[in-house]
Amino acid sequence: MTAPAGNAPVITVTLNPAIDQTITVQALRPGTVHRATAVRRNAGGKGVNVASCLADWGTPVAVTGLLGADNAAPFEALFAAKGIADLFVRLPGETRVNIKIADLGSGDTTDINLPGLTATADAMDQVSETLQRLVAPGSLVLLAGSLPDGLPDDSYAALAADLHAQGARVVLDSSGAPLASALAEGAGPLPYCIKPNRHELEAWAGTPLPTHADLLAAARDLHGRGVGMVVVSLGADGALFVADGPALHARLPAVTALSTVGAGDAMVAGLIAAFRDGLSTEGVARRAVAFATAKLGCFGPNLPGADAVRSLATQVQVTTL
């Protein structure tokens, strides 16, 4: 895998960002009154979270997408604090708020995603123009998250085709119809990398995938069609990595989790950081899983110091399948 030339920034695209409001309770019991033990608000959305983790790693990163002008302050504060280049297109109105209820007793998180902005074709044209200015051959570009109201399901497929024509390597982290459209036969060049979880891959395949063998078969099918690397995230069980050569299973080292929110986004940040450095498939697996593991010890879209992440990478258990 070849790293892009120079010190060009990684670019993340988030068309439907969110302010993540995480409410922690001792035990979630539906239909009863709860007293929260903590409340946190973070600027979020998949691409924003990935950019935040990459900035912590020391990677130059620029962000674009669609952002509500009326409550942009949390995003602007995050970007300023971490030195992230803010190229978001502002739209009238408010960015959506996602409520996450963290159950300390079970360790589970319940998500309630509120409605967001309605996008326009003009706004998407502005995002495309921003990308045209930024992208150079070899650039790593992440297209991440859901699509806002007003955009067709093939929006990521169209962006990916334009970016591929400019020589960019596209990492896609989405689900449902936008993912299916980008992977459809005849959609154009397929992404350089995708990172579905088990449920997202099952939805794409249209069938349950209960075993590692089932997941591997689906991932190998996608790789055979042209996706450079398929990474299937498995939560506490780590992830499967399918690229040229043998498939790998990388497992998380045992850590105490302060928050599982955003661990998948941290894994994507690790993938991109590894691609940027031209690591082998095993190196990609170790770094991606180390990023996800390191995130478990932090609240919000943050990583600890680079030395701690590198130490975790040496502890990741990698098995050839």
Q: Are 100 and 21 in contact (CB under 8 A)?
A: yes
The distance in angstroms from the start CA to the end CA of the chain is 21
Which residue type sits at 71? N
Strands 18-25 and 38-44: antiparallel
Among residues 20, 56, 173, 265, the one annotated as catalytic is 265
Cα gap 156→178, rounded to integer Å: 6
Closest CA to 22 of 98, 107, 95: 98
- CA 165 to chain CA centroid, Å, is 23
Q: Which residue bears the tokens 């539906």?
A: 30
Annotation says 265 is catalytic: yes
3-state secondary structure of 305: coil
Nearest alpha carbon to residue 12 among 130, 140, 138: 140
Compute the distance between CA of residue 263 and CA of residue 278 in angstroms, rounded to an integer: 23
Closest among 94, 101, 102 to 74, alpha carbons compared: 94
User: How far is residue 123 from each of residues 63, 90, 144, 230, 234, measured CA to CA in Å?
Assistant: 15, 9, 17, 31, 35
Contact 287, 273 (CB under 8 A): yes
How far is it, in rounded angstroms, from Cα 117 to Cα 115? 7
Which residues does the annotation mark as catalytic? 265
